[in-house]
Amino acid sequence: MTTLINNEKQTTISQDADLVTLINVFIVEPENQQLLVDLLIKATEEVMCKLPGFISANIHKSLDGKRVTNYAQWRSVEDFRGIFNNPEAVAHMPAIGKIAQSDPTLYEICYIKKS
Amino acid sequence: MTTLINNEKQTTISQDADLVTLINVFIVEPENQQLLVDLLIKATEEVMCKLPGFISANIHKSLDGKRVTNYAQWRSVEDFRGIFNNPEAVAHMPAIGKIAQSDPTLYEICYIKKS
């Protein structure tokens, strides 16, 4: 099926795309979930989206209040690792680390099934 | 920007979509990572994709070998919960549970940023 879409506010998951996927699950107390979302949006808007190789960030709030997950796309592993050498990016991390534990993991996509 | 795409093997993440997102992170020993991917693909092909409300499954392999994550989309929370009342679906779970721990969590999307 071929579809005409406006893709400004849509992210595409594709096996053919030349990128690396970061799935970062944050464990958080429900009373801090919205604050964590706000901190991640602030970090993305102020720094991450301006770094070389940034493709997308997609912030997900769990329905049970206990998780926030960032599904993010970077051009390469090296571009992703560059975050940790950028003082402006690193400056956002303590406030996030104070209220959440995270498990940043890099992935490749191996299978897609659509309905 | 408006783009013409072939979306048969692409999944779209969108804030406007009327769906619920399951992000299920499986923790696995690296020597079992490919087996786990194969079991998840088998379950998806044989059962999940035929259940009411299935929209997509997107299997991700971590580069470090220690995680497999399914980013899946269902029409509703009720449709997702229906899996656990389907004997054919449940039959796939012991083999997966034998080699991996999972953390199935339902989410809504609250923010998307593109480069």
Reported ipTM: the value is 0.92
pTM: 0.93
CA B72 to chain centre: 3
| Contact residues on chain A for B66, CB-CB shorter than 8 A | 105
Contacts of A47 (CB under 8 A, 6+ apart): A86, A88, A89, A92
Instruction: Please state, in angstroms and rounded to a whole number, the distance separating the CA atoms of residues A36 and A98.
Output: 10
Q: For the domain that residue B77 is a member of, what is the CATH number? A: 3.30.70.100
Nearest CA in chain B to A76: B63
Cβ-defined contact of A44 to B108 (cutoff 8 Å): no
pLDDT tens column, B32-76: 999 999 999 999 999 999 999 999 999 999 999 999 999 999 999
Instruction: Please state, in angstroms and rounded to a whole number, the distance separating the CA atoms of residues B108 and B18.
Output: 10
CA A55 to chain centre: 10
Answer whether residue A10 is part of any domain. Answer: yes
Answer whether residue A114 is part of any domain. Answer: no
pLDDT tens column, A42-95: 999 999 999 999 999 999 999 999 999 999 999 999 999 999 999 999 999 999
Extract the tokens encoding B17: 């979509």
Answer whether residue A76 is part of any domain. Answer: yes
